Amino acid sequence: MKTTYTVLVGILLLAAAVFFFFPKGEDSTDSIQEKMVLIPSGPTASKIQAFYMDVHPVTVMEFRSFIDATGYETSAETFGDAGVFDYETGRWSLKKGANWEYPQGRDQPKAPDNHPVTQVSWYDAKAYAEWVGKRLPAEAEWEHAARNGGQIDDAIYPWGSNTVKENDTYKANVWQGIFPLYNSVGDGYKNTSPVGVFGKTELGLEDMAGNVWEWCNDWKTSDADPESTNEMEKIQRGGSFLCDTKVCHGYTVYGKSSSTPETSLMNLGFRCVRDKN
């Protein structure tokens, strides 16, 4: 009887310890898991199985949870610099000290918690995804999700219409004006915006167009032979706040970019997916 009582007390103490030391809160992996949307499978020929996708790009706060839990050092922190766009010159350059916390360098404001994390390499994104029990999306999965699971195959944007501005309301954080000389900031954001402020797609996804480019798992394929890859650059989808309709226009459901996997940029983030089964 005494032994049973001792074991019971031990279990209760252990349960209390788990509750107090590992509380289920905004920063826990449990809450990160919950913010996903079920994307239906594609046509048989596409071989896309149903999967879960993050509602929005991984935020600065979510990425901080990963750093705090693991002590992980990002590629930008290892290199000591990262890619920053200079609005004065209209050019990209490596800026010392720029990283996920200070995406435009230490002399510029810290990244807000509810904005997409940027200045993360493909390796950083993959490490985060593995930590949280997810993976990076295949490019075909990302586009299938952007097309509302195949419901808007003939559309240009995830919301299905042909314009980014409707009734004086913008549907994505992109560039207004003449890139790179003038940005009127008509949508209210010169750089990143809080995730979700431009609404949801019919499937419930946020920021599938604009805000930040998102890393995919695929290597860039050769234009001459789509079946072959040179394994030099990883695909990105979705466009960013630096995209306009004339120069970039990357925020369409089919727009894409690519970089070598160690690249970190102030307009490049990611979101994760998870198999349904």
Q: Which is nearer to Ca ion, 198 or 215 (CB)?
A: 198
Q: Which is nearer to Ca ion, 62 or 187 (CB)?
A: 187
Residue 174 CB, nearest distance to Ca ion (Å)?
Answer: 6
Asked whether position 85 contacts Ca ion by CB under 5 A, the answer is no
Asked whether position 173 contacts Ca ion by CB under 5 A, the answer is yes
Q: Which is nearer to Ca ion, 42 or 210 (CB)?
A: 210
Which residue of 187, 207, 233, 244 would you call a contact of Ca ion, by CB under 5 A? 187
Structure tokens at 198: 């431009």
Q: In angstroms, how far is CA 51 from the centroid of its own chain?
A: 16
SS3 state at 83 = strand
Encoded one letter per residue, x for contact with Ca ion by CB under 5 A and - for no contact, window 194-233 reads ----------------------------------------
Q: Phi and psi of 201, rounded to 5°?
A: -80, 175
Asked whether position 241 contacts Ca ion by CB under 5 A, the answer is yes
Query: What Rg value do the Cα atoms of the chain yield, rounded?
Result: 21
Q: Which is nearer to Ca ion, 2 or 246 (CB)?
A: 246
Segment near Ca ion (CB under 5 A); pick from 58-66, 105-113, 173-181, 259-267:
173-181
Q: What is the DSSP string of 10-64?
A: HHHHHHHHHHHHS---TTSHHHHHHSEEEEPP--GGGT---EEEESSPPBHHHHH
Asked whether position 244 contacts Ca ion by CB under 5 A, the answer is no
Q: Which is nearer to Ca ion, 121 or 193 (CB)?
A: 193
Q: Cα dist. 24→9, 20, 34, 179, 251 in Å?
A: 23, 9, 12, 44, 35
Binding residues (CB under 5 A) for Ca ion: these are 173, 187, 189, 241
